[in-house]
Amino acid sequence: MDVDPSDLRSAINRLKRANGQISAVIRMIEEGEDCASIITQLSAANTAVERAGVSVLTQTMKKCMADGSDEVDLAQLEKVFLSLT
Protein backbone atom coordinates (compact mmCIF):
# COMPACT_ATOMS: atom_id res chain seq x y z
CA MET A 1 0.00 0.00 0.00
CA ASP A 2 1.32 3.40 -0.94
CA VAL A 3 1.11 6.34 1.43
CA ASP A 4 1.28 9.92 0.21
CA PRO A 5 4.65 11.43 1.24
CA SER A 6 2.87 14.57 2.40
CA ASP A 7 1.08 12.42 4.99
CA LEU A 8 4.49 11.40 6.33
CA ARG A 9 5.93 14.91 6.70
CA SER A 10 6.28 14.57 10.50
CA ALA A 11 8.10 11.24 10.10
CA ILE A 12 10.42 12.76 7.52
CA ASN A 13 11.18 15.69 9.81
CA ARG A 14 11.93 13.35 12.72
CA LEU A 15 14.26 11.27 10.57
CA LYS A 16 16.10 14.36 9.36
CA ARG A 17 16.50 15.44 12.99
CA ALA A 18 17.81 11.98 13.90
CA ASN A 19 20.23 12.14 10.99
CA GLY A 20 21.64 15.41 12.34
CA GLN A 21 21.86 13.98 15.84
CA ILE A 22 23.73 10.91 14.63
CA SER A 23 26.17 13.11 12.71
CA ALA A 24 26.67 15.09 15.92
CA VAL A 25 27.32 11.88 17.87
CA ILE A 26 29.98 10.82 15.38
CA ARG A 27 31.64 14.22 15.64
CA MET A 28 31.44 14.12 19.45
CA ILE A 29 33.09 10.70 19.58
CA GLU A 30 35.82 11.77 17.16
CA GLU A 31 36.48 14.89 19.26
CA GLY A 32 36.55 12.97 22.54
CA GLU A 33 33.44 14.53 24.10
CA ASP A 34 32.24 13.22 27.44
CA CYS A 35 30.21 10.00 27.50
CA ALA A 36 27.14 11.55 29.14
CA SER A 37 26.69 14.03 26.29
CA ILE A 38 27.16 11.30 23.71
CA ILE A 39 24.59 9.05 25.38
CA THR A 40 22.12 11.95 25.60
CA GLN A 41 22.41 12.57 21.85
CA LEU A 42 22.15 8.85 21.05
CA SER A 43 19.01 8.62 23.15
CA ALA A 44 17.48 11.60 21.36
CA ALA A 45 18.26 10.09 17.95
CA ASN A 46 16.81 6.75 19.01
CA THR A 47 13.60 8.41 20.19
CA ALA A 48 13.27 10.34 16.93
CA VAL A 49 13.64 7.15 14.86
CA GLU A 50 11.14 5.25 17.03
CA ARG A 51 8.56 8.02 16.76
CA ALA A 52 9.06 8.21 13.01
CA GLY A 53 8.34 4.48 12.82
CA VAL A 54 5.15 4.88 14.81
CA SER A 55 4.11 7.78 12.59
CA VAL A 56 4.64 5.76 9.40
CA LEU A 57 2.74 2.81 10.84
CA THR A 58 -0.12 5.05 11.99
CA GLN A 59 -0.45 6.76 8.61
CA THR A 60 -0.40 3.42 6.83
CA MET A 61 -3.13 2.05 9.09
CA LYS A 62 -5.24 5.20 8.63
CA LYS A 63 -5.01 4.87 4.87
CA CYS A 64 -5.84 1.19 5.02
CA MET A 65 -8.92 1.82 7.15
CA ALA A 66 -10.04 4.78 5.03
CA ASP A 67 -9.74 2.69 1.86
CA GLY A 68 -11.70 -0.14 3.43
CA SER A 69 -8.88 -2.40 2.40
CA ASP A 70 -9.08 -6.08 3.21
CA GLU A 71 -5.42 -6.61 2.41
CA VAL A 72 -4.27 -6.14 6.02
CA ASP A 73 -2.06 -9.05 7.03
CA LEU A 74 -2.47 -9.26 10.81
CA ALA A 75 0.65 -11.39 11.25
CA GLN A 76 2.66 -8.82 9.32
CA LEU A 77 1.11 -5.99 11.34
CA GLU A 78 1.98 -7.73 14.60
CA LYS A 79 5.56 -8.21 13.39
CA VAL A 80 5.83 -4.48 12.59
CA PHE A 81 4.44 -3.49 16.00
CA LEU A 82 6.88 -5.78 17.77
CA SER A 83 9.80 -4.43 15.78
CA LEU A 84 9.04 -0.97 17.18
CA THR A 85 9.37 -2.11 20.80
Range of the domain at 36: 5-83
If one counts the domains in the chain, the total is 1
Mean pLDDT for 30-46 is 95
- What pLDDT digit, counting tens, does each position of 42-77 carry? 999 999 998 998 888 888 777 777 766 666 667 777
The pLDDT of residue 37 is above 70: yes
Contact 80, 55 (CB under 8 A): no
- Quick one: pLDDT at residue 41? 94
Q: For the domain that residue 22 is a member of, what is the CATH number?
A: 1.20.58.1000
Residue 26, CA distances (Å) to 22, 56, 73 in order: 6, 27, 39
